Structure 1
Amino acid sequence: MSRFIVDSELSGRVPLADLRRDVTVLVKACLDLTAGLLTGADTTKPLADVRFGVTEWAREGVPVDSMHKAVRAGTRMVFDHLLARAESAADRVAVAEVTRAFFELTSRLATVIAQAYSSETRAAGADALAAALMAGKATPAMARACGVRLAEKYFVFAVAFVPHHAEGESRQIVSPRTVRRVRAEVSHRCGDHALMQMGAGTATLLIPPDHFDPAGAQRFVEHLVAAARTRVRATFVSARGAGIPEAVERVHAVLDLMGRLRRDGLERFEDLSLEYQLSRPGAAGRHLAAMLDPLEPHPILLETLKTYLATRCTRLRTAHLLHVHPNTVDYRLTKIAEITGFDPTHSDGIWRLRSALVARMAGVSERDSADSGEPDQTAPAARAC
């Protein structure tokens, strides 16, 4: 392993720590592949592992000829090692068997390398097409040049990655390797049919309906979480070609709203439509947010209200989460009613307080509706407990 790392051309192009890890994975895959060729076992998985590793190196800027040289260098080292240990006629017969396997091995690796680099070239064109679609500037000629057939309708899927060290921030720059793992997972689930654009801590996908089942969206997000190795926030809507730019704007607004409301995982747009509307700029939203201004001098009461509404107005659960006696929760709810004028133990009060809390957490009061260019909107009721 060490000889390969030192002697190959890769050490000058891939960070050494990453190179050692990648070489370990690839050598193991090649050993599994060789064993499969010798025994007749299935070689699908090791070939897939090799293709994934080669794709990562292609995106690191490793030229294709360096990859082929690396294969030849690795094969030669193993062959020289085996030949030096061959002492008997039986050993030399075994070396001959391995030699035949090596010819097949190098042939398959050459195919995989070509496929990986070809896919990477197509991916670059597909990224440009995705950006054009999301900006409303795509043309059939652009799609043909990328070898992509435009669909009449797409699911517009937006994902925000939430690093563990940045609990309150939804848009962090993620590492190139995380981006590649996510791309590989999307490709594995949707083939070459999904168009993708990566941002600073976000991914926007355009997936044709034939290659995405909304009923399996939760499982799809779980796979993305595993690939990204971090928490995510995700949502999606469907849109036709001309409506894609507006849909992209909407799903990213929902991601921003989820961040403000501290919600992770998958939220369908229709499930957050009321909260989304409450978060829009306008006099109604500002009025709702201001309803909780009297609680600002009482942060304990405000936290109690948030917890109480988050537990669907369950006083025992609220008491457990706040580590207080249920009677203390009752007292605080009474004080909230006295200060705000809305009783959180009655449906009308819950309705108004929840709406006010959503508007406040969405930051409606921080925005200037004059800058937004949107007319004042009447905010609908928030979801009742």
Structure 2
Amino acid sequence: MPDSVLSARAATTVGRPVIDRLPTASTISGKIMNLFIVGSELPARVPIAVLRRDVTALVNACLALTARMLTGGDTAEPLAEVRADIMEWAHQGVTIGAMHKAVWVGAQAVFDHLTARARLDDDHLAVIETAHMFVHLSRELSMAISQAYLREMRVAGSDAADAVAAALIAGKATPAMARACGVRLAESYFVFAVEFMPPRSAGEPRPDRHILAHRTIRRVRAEVLHLCDDKALMQMGTDTATLLIPQDHFDPAAAERFVEQIAGAAQTQVRAAFVAAGAGGISEGVERAHAVLDIMRRLRRVGLERFDDLSLEYQLSRPGTAGRHLAALLDPLEDHPVLLETLTAHLATRSTRLRTARALHVHPNTVDYRLNKIAEITGLDPTQPDGVWRLRSALVARMTGAGEKELAAGGDPDQTAQAC
């Protein structure tokens, strides 16, 4: 980092550190709002409330970046947020020149605020050092703008690749068809099934939720293309995604980090599963990956699970006599929904009593009492390894069987999973 930036950390004006004089977002956002509203078509396409929130989010991200630079902190996180925010502006049709102007206006306003009361004799060195830091900040923001617009161009030009992904998933892709779309098929892929979990504070009006979901898809798509050097193929939905990543462009040991980066781009928790598949077996691989994802949903798992880690649960979810027999082990709990809920939570927390209590918002002694009742009613002790194994298997078989019944009756399997 340049010496001038290091000096700016200790700089003071009117007897106060510069870092303590950063303005609030509301002080700056009004100036940028005017740029987009006056003589712009944006308000006609974007609700004013959403526009105001987007401007405030971008200003907050830039202020966080400025604060990190002034204190010598890590700038990676605020820079990533700035890029994500600017990418949305690019998608809305804001030109790169207008985006540079908006960021420049904001940076100028912050600099003016920091130096407005500086005294010529006492604070001139602090003003110079702060100006040097803002030169460095402007360079970082210019790079972030260029990177964001480049990512938006990648996303906007991915329609042909999406057609290849759909054909692979349907088992209809051919090398000739892929070449016509500008895609070279790999011999084998890692198939990821990903589900984006709704934020806990999902209380937005329906049109706003639609906008947020659309933005999530674009952010995730851009992040995956960036991480996989544009080699990934995708089929994106509002709540789920299927990613096809050539095996020679991905290290499976880095899968957990990969999913964490997707979650960061989505700005929400995700659950994901992945399997390996040859180019001719993508359809089967997608079916298996999404089946594991469904099991994770029913077991209330989040994060990443490899197919091998849940292969037993997957097999138990297949129709058959063994599955029906295992599911019947929990029939005695039909009249005890609280005990069934406790068992589900206990197994979801890896049979950890204190975590189960926190998940259910009850005292640990209440958990102990309920687990003892489960052992008494079913004859299977959820505190012992053998009992845990059989109860877990029974729960998987039961949940899958319940989902099949709901589907046969025209029900919603997601609602069924939430009710379990």
RMSD: 4.8
- Taking a change above 3 Å as real, the CA distance of residues 50 and 146 of structure 1, as seen in their structure-2 partners, is farther
Could you say which residue in structure 1 is the equivalent of 2:8? none
* Equivalent in the alignment of 1:100: none
Q: Once the 2 structures are TM-superposed, how far is the Cα of residue 130 of structure 1 from its aligned partner? A: 1.3
Distance in 1 (alpha carbons) for counterparts of 2:223 and 2:268: 14
CA contact (8 A) 2:190 2:245 kept: yes
1:156 is matched with 191
Contact 2:190 2:246 in 1 (8 A): yes
8 A Cα contact 2:371 2:383, kept in partner = no
The corresponding residue for 2:251 is 213
For the residue of structure 1 that corresponds to 2:285, the secondary structure is: helix
Q: Is the 2:86–2:145 Cα contact (8 Å) retained in structure 1? A: no
Contact 2:316/2:393 (<8 A) preserved = yes
Identity among equivalent positions (%) equals: 58
Q: What SS is found at the alignment partner of 2:238?
A: coil
Shift of 1:231: 1.4
Secondary structure, aligned partner of 1:192: coil
Give the aligned partner of residue 378 of structure 1.
Answer: none
Q: Distance in 2 between matches of 1:70 and 1:317?
A: 51
- Change over 3 Å in CA distance of 1:116–1:223 after alignment to 2: closer
Return the alpha-carbon distance in structure 1 between the equivalents of residues 375 and 310 of structure 2: 29
1:142 to 2:183 alignment: no
Do the aligned partners of 1:275 and 1:358 also contact (CA within 8 Å) in 2? yes
Name 2:159's counterpart in structure 1.
124
Q: Residue 244 in 1 paired to residue 282 in 2?
A: yes
Matched, 1:356 2:394: yes
User: How far 1:116 moved relative to its partner?
Assistant: 5.4
Partner Cα distance (1:28, 1:166) in 2: 20
Superposition deviation, residue 177 in structure 1: 1.1
Verify the 8 A CA contact 1:286 1:364 in the aligned structure 2.
no
Residue 5 of structure 1 is matched in structure 2 by 36
Q: For residue 67 of structure 1, what is the amino acid of its counterpart?
A: T
Assess, with a 3 A threshold, how the Cα gap between structure 1 residues 45 and 149 changes in structure 2: closer, same or farther: farther
CA distance 1:56–1:302, change in 2 (3 Å):
closer
- 1:14 maps to a residue whose letter is V
The change in CA–CA distance for 1:227 and 1:348 in structure 2 (over 3 A counts) is closer
1: CA distance, partners of 2:151 / 2:355: 53
- 1:26 Cα deviation from its structure 2 partner: 7.2
Structure 1, unpaired ranges of 5+: 32-43, 82-103, 372-385
**Within 5 Å, which residues of 2 pair with 1:311-350?**
323-324=364-365, 328=369, 331-332=372-373, 334-336=375-377, 340-342=378-380, 349-350=387-388
Residues 221-257 of structure 1, C-alpha deviations (whole Å, 9 max, x = no match): 1112222121111010011111001111111111111
Correspondence 1:168-187 to 2 at 5 A: 175-187=213-225
What CA distance in whole angstroms lies between the structure 1 residues aligned with 2:382 and 2:83? 58
The 5 Å alignment of 1:270-289 reads 270-289=308-327
Amino acid across the alignment from 1:128: A
| SS at 2:273 equivalent | strand
Which whole-Å deviations, capped at 9, do the CAs of 1:45-76 have from their partners, x for residues lacking one?
9999887556434544x3xxx62674698699
Q: Helix, strand or coil: the match of 1:191?
A: coil
CA offset at residue 280 of structure 1? 1.2
Residues 1:124 and 1:25: Cα distance change in structure 2 (over 3 Å): farther
Could you say what secondary structure the match of 1:243 adopts? Answer: helix
Of residues 288-297 and 48-57 in structure 1, the stretch that sits farther from structure 2 once superposed is 48-57
Separation in 1 of the partners of 2:336 and 2:389?
Answer: 21
* Alignment CA distance shift 1:143-1:342 (3 Å): same
Structure 1 residue aligned with 2:238: 200
1:67 aligns with 2:95: yes
Higher Rg of the two aligned structures: 1
Query: What is the CA deviation profile of residues 130-159 of structure 1, one whole-angstrom value per residue up to 9, with x for unaligned ones?
Result: 111111122333322332221111110111
Residue in 2 that maps onto 1:191:
229
Structure 2 CA distance for aligned equivalents of residues 162 and 46 of structure 1 = 23
Would you say how many aligned residue pairs link Structure 1 and Structure 2? 331
Determine whether 1:14 maps to 2:66: no
Deviation at 1:310, TM superposition (A): 5.3
Alignment partner of 1:228 out of 266, 275, 282: 266
Partners of 2:350 and 2:60 in 1: how far apart? 51
Deviation at 1:21, TM superposition (A): 5.2
**Could you list the per-position Cα deviations for residues 316-335 of structure 1 after superposition, in whole angstroms to 9, with x for gaps in the alignment?**
88789752179746853551
Instruction: Give TM-score scaled by structure 1 length.
Output: 0.67
Q: In the alignment, is the contact (CA less than 8 A) between 1:281 and 1:367 conserved in 2?
A: no
SS state at 1:362 partner? helix
Q: 1:211 to 1:20 in 2, by over 3 A?
A: farther
Change (3 A) 1:118 1:164: closer
> Within 2, Cα distance between the matches of 1:251 and 1:177?
25
